[in-house]
Amino acid sequence: MPRIGLRHLKTHASQVLRDVEDNRVRYVVTNRGDPVAVIVPYAPEEEVERQTREQAWSRLLSLRERMEGIRSQPFSAEELLRELRR
């Protein structure tokens, strides 16, 4: 990942952002040589609200309960064939 100084970013922000958007380049922004930020291309699928561990487990357990309620028995061979023929 290329590094770019904060001062250079200030004076060339449009060019850097164009490069990020058009070429999907990621930049590490530095302040006096120390990394302080990363500029990455926008990806809508990554825009997800972070959950706590407890929230994630709660959601997973809830989904498991819903799935168990849908089908408690495995499909028989006859049911599988009937589904495949639809």
Given this model, what pLDDT does residue 71 score?
Answer: 61
Q: Are residues 68 and 40 in the same domain?
A: no
The CATH number covering residue 7 comes to: 3.40.1620
* Whether residues 54 and 33 fall in one domain: no
Q: What is the pLDDT of residue 73?
A: 65
pLDDT digits (tens, 9 = 90+) for 29-73: 999 999 999 999 998 877 777 778 898 889 888 888 887 766 666
Which residue is listed with tokens 């006859």? 78
41: exposed, middle or buried (Cβ count in 10 Å: 0-12, 13-18, 19+)? middle
Residue pair 36/26 in contact (Cβ under 8 Å)? The answer is no
> How many structural domains is the chain composed of?
2
Angle, CA of 78, 74 and 55, to the nearest 5° = 145
pLDDT at position 40: 94
Q: Which pLDDT value is given to residue 67?
A: 78
Q: Which domain holds residue 74?
A: 46-85
Report the predicted TM-score, pTM, of the whole model to 2 decimal places.
Answer: 0.52
What does the pLDDT read at residue 72? Answer: 60
Q: Could you tell me which residues are beta bridge partners of residue 34?
A: 31
